[in-house]
Amino acid sequence: MLLASATEVFRRISHAAMRAGRNPEEVKLVAVTKTVSSDRIREAIDLGLRIFGESRVQEAEKKILSEELKGDRHLLQWHFIGHLQVNKAKTAVQLFDLIHSVDSQHLASEVDGRAGQLGKVQRVLLQVKLADEPAKHGVPEEGVGELIRSVSRLKHVRLEGLMAIPPFAADAERSRDYYRRLACLRDRLQGEGFHLPELSMGMSHDYQVAVEEGATLVRVGTAIFGERSV
Ligand SMILES: *Cc1c(COP(=O)(O)O)cnc(C)c1O
């Protein structure tokens, strides 16, 4: 079951990359394991998955440090993909290799301070808000330049790229313009001298479109693990 669905996701990523003239190896699959038990994550590791994404710090902490999984921590990359509250920054820095969702100066400074205390350089992405949706997180497009300049000055944070979650639409083609805009924004910022190799974009319903538009990290949960019950 898990083998078939994960294989299919890898196959579709490869095909989408090739359609766009890209090397499929540029695209990394982040298997999103929110609500997925440590036992099933264990199964996914045994099938060869290595990058896992979680969106709640406490839930992730339980799994990452669980008896089933803690021995494999050196093999794995854990990514934080949800909204990060400032008061959870310390635990997040302890647990995660990459935080996809930095979206304010305040949060970035907190992550920097905590990483400094741990003697770590925290890899991060900036989450960009591409549509005017009040309930969504992310820095609005017009604020990205300023945030990027201040984050680039932090000593214990390494900015590696951008992330976005477009408004949900069952039709994947509705995501294409948003992903294209994120890629353009990244190209423009790179033109200004910032090094932003990673583009985190695409979920179960639209990751193929995201890969066609340049995603280097796709965050896929349901298409691998099935529908979430909670
Ligand atoms: C849950 C989640 C995903 C994965 O969603 P699926 O539709 O299950 O693939 C991706 N990104 C973020 C930020 C999420 O919270």
pLDDT by 10-residue block (mean), the chain, 230 residues: 96 98 98 97 97 98 97 96 98 98 98 98 98 92 96 98 96 98 98 97 98 98 91
Tell me the whole-structure pTM to 2 decimals: 0.97
| Atom of ligand 1 at shortest range from CA of 82 | 13
Nearest CA-CA partner of 99 in 168, 224, 214, 91:
91
Distance between Cα 227 and ligand 1 center (Å) = 11
Distance CA 175, CA 162 (A): 16
Contacts of 222 (CB under 8 A, 6+ apart): 204, 228
Distance between Cα 78 and ligand 1 center (Å) = 14
Distance CA 161, CA 53 (A): 16
Judge whether 216 and 197 are in contact, CB under 8 Å. Answer: yes
